[in-house]
Structure 1
Amino acid sequence: MLWGLSKLIDGEKPRMEVVGTARSCEEALAKVDQLIPDVILLDLDLDGKNALDILPALVLNQKSRVLILTAERKQATLDMAVLRGARGVLRKDVAAEQVLKAIEKTHRGELWLDRETLGRVFGELMSPVAAPKPSPETEKYAALTAKEQKIIQSIVEGSGASNKALAQRLFISEHTLCNHLTSIYHKLDVSNRLELYVYAIKHQLGNPQS
C-alpha cells in the first residue's frame, strides 16, 4: 500500500511529490519535525498503534495538514480524527484519482469530508459543555447565609469555646447565636455543635479558602 501510494503521488511531479514515509507513530513524529510536509496522508493503524494519539502533535507546526486514509469503518473514530485536527477522511478503497484530488484540496486548505460527517463534527464543536454538577455538600454550604458561614468558621477556629464566648467574638447576643445555630443545623442536617464541628472539619467548611 505504501509503495503504491508513493508511486502514485510521485507520478504527479512536479505538482506533488513524496518527501518522506513512516511505518510507525514514532517514525512519523520524527519525520514531521524534520521535513514539515504540506500534507500528511495518515493511516490510523501504524504498526499496530492507533495514530489518533499522535494526530494533534502532527499538526503543531501550523503548516502540515492531515488527510486520513483508512479502512476504519467506525464513524465515531473517524469523527474523532477530525476533531483532533484531520482535514479529511479517505477510504482505502477509493479510486486513485480521488486520492490525488483529496491531497490537492487538503493542500489548498479545503476540507475533504462528506456532509454527514461535517454536520456531526460541527454539532460536537457547537454543543455547550455541561458544567460539572456541584456536590450535595457544596449545595448545602451555598444555602447558608454569610453570617452562618462566619459562625461555622468561628466554631472551627474556637473548637471548644462556649456559646457565650462565641457570641462575644461575633458581637451578637447568645440568643441570636442559638437562632443561627438552629438554622445551620437544619440546613446541614446535623443535630448539635459537636456534629457541626465534625461536619465542618470533614468538608473543610471553616477554612477561609472554602
Structure 2
Amino acid sequence: MGCREWGSVLTDWALDELSPARARELERHLEQCQECAHAAQRLLSVRQALKSSLIDLDMPARVVVFGDKVVSRFAGFWAALLRTAALSTAAAVIFLAVVSAGFRFGGTRLVPVTAGAQPALTQAELHDFVAKAVAEQVSLQGKELQAATRDQVASLRQEQMENLKRFGQQLQSFELSLNTEYKETQQQSALLSVVAHEQQLPAH
C-alpha cells in the first residue's frame, strides 16, 4: 500500500476509529515511514488544538446538558471536520473561523466556560499554529501538483471545493441544532418556573 493510500487510515486512527488489528498494522507502517509519522503527528496536534480552543460564547455560562441525540450529532460533525481538514488545504483555513466562533469541546459534551477559565491556547497562538499547518499542507500539495497532469490538478481542485462546500453545510446544520436545543431547553425551564410558582401560591 502506497503512502497516499494511508491518508484515510491515518484520519481514522487519529479519531480512534480503527480496529485494534488495523491500528497495529498502521503503527508498524509509521515506524518505517517518516512521512506518514509526521502526518500522523500533525493530525493529532490539530485535533488537540481544536479540542483545547473550542469555546461556547453564544450560550450563558451555565451547565447545559444535551441528550444523546445531540451528542451523537456533534460527534459526527467533529469526525467530518477532521476528515475535511485532512483532505483539503482550504478547509484548514476554516479552522480559524470555527475557533473564532468560540466553542469549547469537553469530552463528549459541550460545557460552559466559567468566568475564570482560560483556553489552553490563546487566539494568537492558535492562529500561528494553524498558519504553520496550512503552510505545510500547501508545500506538500505543491510537490504533488508539480508531478500531476493538468486534468489531475483540475480534479484535485474540484474535490477540494466540494469538500469545503460540504463542510460549510455541516457547520450550519450543527449550529442550527445547537440553537434549537438551547431554545427548547430555555422554554422548558420557563414553563417549569411558572408551574413551580403556581404551586406555591396560597389556595383561595
**TM-score, scaled to structure 2:** 0.27
Larger radius of gyration: 1
**TM-score, scaled to structure 1:** 0.26
Higher helix share: 2
Higher strand share: 1
- Structure having greater relative contact order (Cα 8 Å, sep ≥ 6): 2
